[in-house]
Structure 1
Amino acid sequence: MTILSETWQHGFLPTNHLRLHYVTQGEGELMLMLHGFPEFWYSWRHQIPEFAKDYKVVAIDLRGYNESDKPIALEAYTISEFILDVKGIIEALGYDRCTLVSHDWGGTIAWHFAYAYPQMLDKLIVLNLPHPAKFAEGLRTLPQLLRSWYIFLFQLPWLPEFLLQWNNCEAIGKAFSEVAIDKTAFSQIDLQNYREAAAKPGSLTAMLNYYRNVRSALPSKQWDVLEIPTLMIWGENDAALGKELTYGTEAYVRNLTLRYIPHCSHWVQQEQPQLVNQYMREFLSPSN
């Protein structure tokens, strides 16, 4: 795997009876980054050096991904376990709060963490993942059900693993290269790094187990209004999650900033890193 910067430190943190791998750069207040599927810490490669100027940036491999521990049991991949992972990471780093930055499945975890431990967050940033209540609403519509076809495929035993590992995890690379609007956003090295991470023993099943337990992330309940200042950034050409899933989020988030990026796919922080970094900077400025 190609290492991008000698100034980035790699390590492992104990949390919730696991060891999770992380990459860090910078000093100061904590900025914790949570990736999505089928990524790993590497998806934040454009943000780590930018925000390390002002923060201690920590990008983790979620449980089951890349170098992190990979529990075998399906019940190890529920939203309650992911929440405890994040809490343990913050505490293991010696902090009691952070700015939480997230994308895709990392966004799902971040939303739930914000409700479970609001006192541990200064600000919340979520990229291309709707509020859980809005996603649950979307899944009751035909257009979003059709976009979410892969969730139903991933419920099957062994077949998804077979399809994703075929030909050196070719499908993992194509998930980035073929979906991106800007075809130059991912180099061959980037795609190879993603394929190598997914090919590690136990990784594919662990990654798919997030979807096999997706019901745990969609509880039927009344959602309180979140008080934490929140930024949502949305690539408008997301093939899996419709833009309409963002509509009405202000009913669940009192202090919401919503930024759309046109001509951009689901992989927003990798495809349009300069804009994402700019919007994050504006949101994080002391005047906000």
Structure 2
Amino acid sequence: MPVIDANWQHDYITTNGIKLHYVTQGEGALMLMLHGFPEFWYSWRHQIPEFAKYFKVVAVDLRGYNDSDKPKEQSAYRMDEFIRDIKGLIEGLGYEKCVLVGHDWGGAIAWCFAYTYPEMVERLVVLNIPHPAKLAEGLRTPAQLLKSSYMFLFQLPWLPEVLIQSWDYQLIENAFQGMAVDKNAFSKSDIEAYKNAAAKRGSLTAMLNYYRNIFQDQMFNKSLGILEVPTLMIWGESDTALGKELTYGTEAYVRDLQIKYIPNCSHWVQQERPELVNQYIQEYLGL
């Protein structure tokens, strides 16, 4: 069975015209967690109970994922829509600001949200996702272009869906087990949970639509300036999709930045090395 905690509460909230599902535990100030691709709230299973000691932790299914609504239009998966979702979620939960934590695509949304509404982000924590300007720079280099070749595959209609569904979603299993340095980081039931989430009606196309808008999205194609929100970046050094060099020079874009590197750890950093990730976040927040 996947990891289940009886203290986790499942709920829904309507924001920006859609219904989002989330899991929550704890009381107090808000810590909002945003997952990546091809995940859902479950990727924070090792962080939710730990940080619920200090915060009201909310791990949301982003639009298109798992039990959240899945608009059919590709245009519904632009960064400005994600930002409106998160603003409405924070306000709908009764808060004015939060500690915002994001990994992969959730981290990209977190970066852009912090730029758009810095007054709503007390602290920003991003895991294995570069600053948008550094990602844009990286995609102009042969090495990162090769690592990011899957992004170009995902631009195609219907073919990526067919490939990912083939052989009982084998590519999703490969994404986790194949990229992980510690092959024991994911149980068989963990992998099945991710497969089941991707298999829900409309999910796979919705998840891929994040990538299908990336090269046209203005949030990735404009000068964002200097981010004033204090930021912690945690980076698994053995990420095969996003090179460590994408972190170099980030301090030019962030006024108050700390970076923690974790050697021998993959892209799935908070799931592969949860104790160390939790420790670094706790130290950063002074808990």
TM-score normalised by L of structure 1: 0.97
Using the TM superposition, give the Cα deviation of residue 55 of structure 1 relative to its aligned residue in structure 2, in angstroms: 0.1
Counterparts in 2 of 1:3 and 1:181: CA distance versus 1, 3 Å: closer
1:185 is aligned to 2:180: no
Counterpart mapping for 1:141-152 below 5 A:
141-152=141-152
Structure-1 separation of matches of 2:221 and 2:63? 25
Cα offsets for 1:98-117 (capped at 9, x unmatched): 00000000011001000100
1:262 matched to 2:263? yes
Question: Which residue of 2 is the match for residue 118 of structure 1?
Answer: 118
Instruction: Give the whole-Å Cα distance in 2 for the aligned partners of 1:253 and 1:48.
Output: 27
CA contact (8 A) 1:132 1:217 kept: no
- Counterpart position of 1:129: 129
Alignment of 1:224 with 2:221, yes or no, is no
Q: SS at 2:57's partner residue? A: strand
Matched, 1:66 2:86: no
Taking structure 2 as the reference length, the TM-score comes to 0.98
Given the superposition, is the C-alpha separation of residues 67 and 217 from structure 1 closer, same or farther in structure 2, using an over 3 Å criterion?
farther
Deviation at 1:92, TM superposition (A): 0.7
Distance 1:217 1:187 in 2: 38
Residues 3, 45 of structure 2: 8 Å contact kept? no
Provide the C-alpha distance between the structure 1 equivalents of 2:281 and 2:221, rounded to a whole number of angstroms.
Answer: 31
In structure 2, what is the equivalent of residue 51 of structure 1?
51
Is the Cα contact below 8 Å between 1:168 and 1:199 reproduced in 2?
A: no
Is the 8 Å Cα contact of residues 98 and 123 (structure 1) preserved in structure 2?
yes
- CA-atom RMSD, angstroms? 1.0
The correspondence of residues 188-207 of structure 1 with structure 2, limited to 5 A, is 188-207=188-207
Contact 2:47 2:274 in 1 (8 A): yes
What are the ranges of 5 or more consecutive residues in structure 1 without an aligned counterpart?
none
Residue aligning to 2:8: 8
Whole-angstrom distance in 1 between the partners of 2:42 and 2:95: 23
Runs of 4+ in 1 over 6 A off after TM superposition: none
Secondary structure of the residue that 1:178 maps to in structure 2? Answer: helix
Aligned-pair identity (%): 66
Alignment of 1:27 with 2:7, yes or no, is no
Map 1:219-258; keep pairs closer than 5 Å.
Answer: 219-258=220-259
Q: CA deviation at 1:171?
A: 1.2
Question: Where in structure 2 are there 5+ consecutive unaligned residues?
Answer: none
* Conservation of the 8 A alpha-carbon contact between 1:10 and 1:22: yes
Asked if 1:284 corresponds to 2:269, the answer is no
C-alpha deviation, 1:222, in angstroms: 2.3
C-alpha distance in 2 between matches for 1:107 and 1:39: 13
Query: Which residue type is aligned with residue 73 of structure 2?
Result: A
Query: Residue 29 of structure 1 contacts residue 98 of structure 1 at CA under 8 Å; is this kept in 2?
Result: yes
Cα distance change on mapping 1:2 and 1:185 into 2, 3 Å: closer
Work out whether 1:213 is the aligned partner of 2:187.
no
